[in-house]
Amino acid sequence: HADARGARGPAIGDTSDAMTSLFYPFRALGYVNEGVPFVEHRRGTEHFVTVSAGKAFQVYNCERLRLVLVGPQGDSDITALAVKGDLTFAAHGRDIVVCRRTHRVCVFGGHADTVTALFTFGPRLYSICAGGRVLGWDIGKDALDHLDGKRSSAAKRAADARASMADDGSGSSDSDSDESASDAMADETAFDEDQDLPRRDPDTGAHLPREYRMPEGFTPTCICHPDTYLNKVLIGATDGRVLLLNVNTGKHIYVFHPNNMLNPSGSAVTCLEQSPALDTVAVGLGNGRVVIQNVRLDRTVVDFTHDGSGRAIRSMSFTTGNQDPLIAVGGDAGSVSVWDLEKRRLRTIMPGTHDGAVTQAHFFLGQPVLMTGGADNALKQWIFDNADGTGRLLRFRAGHSAPPTRVEFYGEGLRILSAGDDRALRVFSTIQDQQSKELSQSHVERRAKKLGVAEQELKLPPIRGLAWCEVRERDWANVVTCHAGETRAYTWRLANGVLGEHVLQPPVKMGAKRNLGISNRVGFPISAVAVSACGNFAVIGNEGGEVHRFNLQSGQHRGVFKRPGPPRNAAEGRDEEAVANGIPEHERRRRQLNLRGGKNSIWNMADKSYGMDAIEAAKKAPKLPAHSGQVSAIQTDGANKQTVTCGFVDGVVRVWNFGEQKLEGEMDTGVGCVAASLHRPGALVAVAGADRVVRVLDIAGMRRVRSLRGAQTQVKSVQFSADGRWILASVADGAVHVWDVPAARLVQTMRMSRDCPVVDLSLSPNMDMLATVHEGRRGVYLWANSQMYSAPGTRLAGGATTRVAGSDDSDSEDAVTTEDGEARETLVELPRLHAELGDAGEIILGATEEESADPNVNLAEKAEKEAAEDAKKEAGPKGAGSDARRRRAPEPVAPGLATMAMLPKVQWASLARLDEIRERNKPIQGPKKPKEAPFFIPTTYNPDDPSKAAVFDVDAAIDDDDDDDANDTKSRILTGAGDDGGDVEGVLVRLVRAGAKKAEAIEEVKSAEGKNRTKAKAAEAKRKLAALRRKRRRKNEEDEEDEY
């Protein structure tokens, strides 16, 4: 097992030899909630939910379902979760990993089988495994402090036992060794009879776990605590019994039999939930029934059937507070039913809540909001505020419910398009997870609710191919997809996140001429799509070999790509046409011209007709489909001049004039074309053949320039890098091959994961990220390009380096090997949910397989130590200051070749303009006389000699009544001390005192002046006011005289 911090890889900038892979794990996208019950908990006034996301857990804020924390990566998928305060307990197989927030504290190990349930109660954690064992772990602060960064002693001894048995080469299996080790642990963990606490581990001092004995034939499945029942838990079993257990004494208080719970068939108890009412517990059964039992009287209060499907109940939840007494029930059928307990009837049922089983349902405290989690990689919140009591979807976060099969970087590489067997087209943001979404398929949810069917049944078939262009993203639909078995291609508006208004349906010729055309009455399924570089046109190809062009703005058909058939004469053409149209032979009359001689005319006999037949034959010349069979790939160039199509059956690559839809040239590969990728700037197309060879073709010169070998199985997808130097291909055995095109060399073979083969891949336009989708995995994985994010001089796997091609091999196929003559394979584990950061904040790219497997190696600390040692070596014996921080000189890629330093531009762009920089940095003005010193420190300054410091001005008149020498106008001692730089501390004290008195006098003068100014202003204002009053008085008197 890994240590508390987890295995880390070399940081960005590390130049150790461990970095041997071209791409390193960065992060995983699209994981929201796996099929493990989530745990809702409160921290302060906020609600949080902890969910499983494969091998790590995630914590979301329930208010907006925003991701706040990501836990450390485990060795296997999480099977159970529990939370208590800042502690998170995640079961990985037979081990339980304890984390304090995101810090890995310790590992509990002692189960012989997979842990299926975790439950926290008081100071203990209770775990149930598939083998039927129940263990109680002390999770108090003291107990965990002893185990911080360690494994429990029982788990350590069990691991040591397995390792020793493996070394001895015995024939016993792992399960046998686990059982023996766990039995030994059970003997060691016996409780002291005089105390209620287990014995302490002699190695770590921590409390050992306690195992609780179950009744005979009792296999536990779930656990809960009935409120107000001190130190007691309820445990359900597979045979329908429920046990009331005292966890302190281990005593069996009572066993509830199935017959008393209206379960005569003994169906398994799948879940238990405490109700707000005391002594009442809800019991979910495997046959789809729910029984609410009074555990004090052992009497059934009410029972009901969930949804009529007869499938097992997986979760239940009660409303609390002043809300109506409701219970929400979720099961394997994917629906949620809500029951009114007061009226004892069904309130509402929500079919298709999740595409898989509803693994958990939870009502928030005092709120009519229900949160559900399912096995479809989704987390949803429902609010029951409708007038009829039904609920509506409030907010949700979801990913692919089935493994994606197609992935494409969109635009500048900040977004990713993906599609899979869940019939959804999703867009993922590589920066903000909350911006990821599924593109809408025209109110599927509303139509499914109206028709009473699942949403999955109304969605389009799974996507088999997609193409895009961001130029017209905000104008009209800019994404085109083809679907399994569909004869039409669909358009999507990515800006609005909805299905486009146009459906691209190739025209079908009807009537007598249908056999002369290229379509049958039904049409062929679409097999390949492409979008032009201008974003105005879409080109689609089908399994019948047809290639059509459509306008994306109007959705109108804008031509078909046809190739000329073999030449034939007019008579033969008419006969073939008549036979094809079913015209009887007696009705087949040759056309005759109205010339002298009639049918015996020499022209009619010769069937020349002054060249009219030749013209007619040319018009009626057969036009064949673009390919004889399925079109496997379509590519368009960046200038809208050429279109490249590849045939899976005929194995021919054809180049067409885009505007006129005419054939310009073709190249026969001799084998079926599986996939293709066009490098638009270089006019090169990489075509993967059925013979496991990737051929690089020049569409301008119509010739083959490279044949790249090395794949051991069928090539499934191929990708050209933006600079045209690399070609990446994923093969059927799960490996990813990287070829250097100019050198015709296999650079590296990467196996990304041990058990999850790569299905599709896409390289970002900046070549900094690689996106892959894997078989059986519902996420999109990002890989960082180590050639961009690692230090210069990093070697590739096996020392494989690029060489310069010495000759043009357009007429011969190169043998693709590495430098030492054989292809090296590198194993890289799948990325984590989020990029891991080191102590200094740098991104941890990844670790080698050997270092990741060693639990005692902290790779981040190892990288720091190596960097410190290198700095010491470069600094020399005494240390060179700035030399210690100097970067290590990059190693040359090959002897005699220039090597790029890979330094940022700001470090080298100014080297060629040092003279200009010096001239610019010169001061514009000369030195100026400094400002005068404070009034209480009179100084003198010599501008002719700026280097000489200023000295005190002893000639200034100072009035110091406290000093006898205050009347002296000169002081030879002070002058000498100032000139020689001597001690003038005593003089300073005297001058400060004099300055203080002078400052007080100045303040008094200023204050008096201010008072005088204030008095003058007041007098002036008084005079103005008196004059104004006199003026008003005279005016009033004049008005009165006029009235009189």
Task: Check residues 758 and 788 and name the one with the higher pLDDT.
Answer: 758
If asked whether residues 997 and 977 sit together in one domain, one would say yes
Given 847, 875, 903, the domain boundary residue is 875
Pairing of strands 39-43, 46-53: antiparallel
Write down the pLDDT at residue 841: 43
If asked whether residues 814 and 673 sit together in one domain, one would say yes
For the chain, give the number of residues: 1044
Mean pLDDT of 248-269: 92
pLDDT(958) > 50:
no
Domain presence at residue 272: no
Given 596, 619, 642, the domain boundary residue is 619
If asked whether residues 693 and 763 sit together in one domain, one would say yes
Handedness of CA 394, 398, 402, 406 (dihedral sign): positive
Query: The domain containing residue 856 runs over which residues?
Result: 838-875
| Residue 345 CA: distances (Å) to CA of 305, 386, 388, 867 | 11, 18, 14, 70
In the β-sheet with 642-647, what is the strand arrangement from edge to edge? 631-636, 642-647, 652-657, 662-668
Give pLDDT tens digits for 813-850: 444 444 444 456 788 877 877 655 544 444 444 444 34
| Residue 876 CA: distances (Å) to CA of 29, 867, 868, 872, 883 | 46, 15, 13, 7, 9
Give pLDDT tens digits for 656-705: 999 999 999 999 999 999 999 999 988 899 999 999 999 999 999 999 99
Among residues 355, 318, 365, 373, which one has the least CA distance to residue 60? 373
User: Can you tell me the distance from the alpha carbon of 685 to that of 653, in angstroms, rounded to the nearest whole number?
Assistant: 10
Domain presence at residue 866: yes
If asked whether residues 721 and 676 sit together in one domain, one would say yes
User: Can you tell me the distance from the alpha carbon of 359 to that of 351, in angstroms, rounded to the nearest whole number?
Assistant: 15
Indicate the number of domains in the chain: 4
Write down the pLDDT at residue 329: 95
Domain presence at residue 351: no
If asked whether residues 741 and 816 sit together in one domain, one would say yes
Task: Check residues 399 and 176 and name the one with the higher pLDDT.
Answer: 399
Domain presence at residue 586: yes
- Which residue is listed with tokens 């459509």? 550
Domain presence at residue 232: no
Domain presence at residue 342: no
User: Can you tell me the distance from the alpha carbon of 1044 to that of 1037, in angstroms, rounded to the nearest whole number?
Assistant: 11
If asked whether residues 754 and 692 sit together in one domain, one would say yes
> Exposure of 768 by Cβ count < 10 A (0-12 exposed, 13-18 middle, 19+ buried)?
middle
If asked whether residues 783 and 698 sit together in one domain, one would say yes
We report the CATH number of the domain holding residue 723 as 2.130.10.10
Domain presence at residue 150: no
Give pLDDT tens digits for 739-762: 999 999 999 998 887 778 899 999
If asked whether residues 822 and 673 sit together in one domain, one would say yes
- Percentage of the residues of the chain whose pLDDT score is greater than 90: 44
Give pLDDT tens digits for 319-343: 998 888 999 999 998 899 999 999 9
Write down the pLDDT at residue 44: 86
958 touches 967 (CB < 8 A): no
DSSP state string for 139-202: -SHHHHHHHTTEE-HHHHHHHHHHHHHHHHT-S--HHHHHHHHHHHHHHHTPBPSS-SSBPBPT
796 touches 819 (CB < 8 A): no
If asked whether residues 708 and 821 sit together in one domain, one would say yes
Write down the pLDDT at residue 187: 38
Pairing of strands 415-420, 489-493: unpaired
Given 846, 875, 904, the domain boundary residue is 875
The mean of the pLDDT values for the chain is 77
If asked whether residues 737 and 816 sit together in one domain, one would say yes
Q: Map residue 701 onto helix, strand or coil.
A: coil
Handedness of CA 774, 778, 779, 780 (dihedral sign): positive
Tokens encoding 180:
């023996």
Cβ neighbours of residue 339 closer than 8 Å, sequence gap 6 or more: 290, 304, 326, 327, 329, 345, 346, 347
If asked whether residues 829 and 842 sit together in one domain, one would say no
If asked whether residues 677 and 594 sit together in one domain, one would say no
pTM over 0.75: no
Give pLDDT tens digits for 473-523: 999 999 999 999 999 999 999 999 999 999 999 987 644 344 444 445 568
Domain presence at residue 528: no
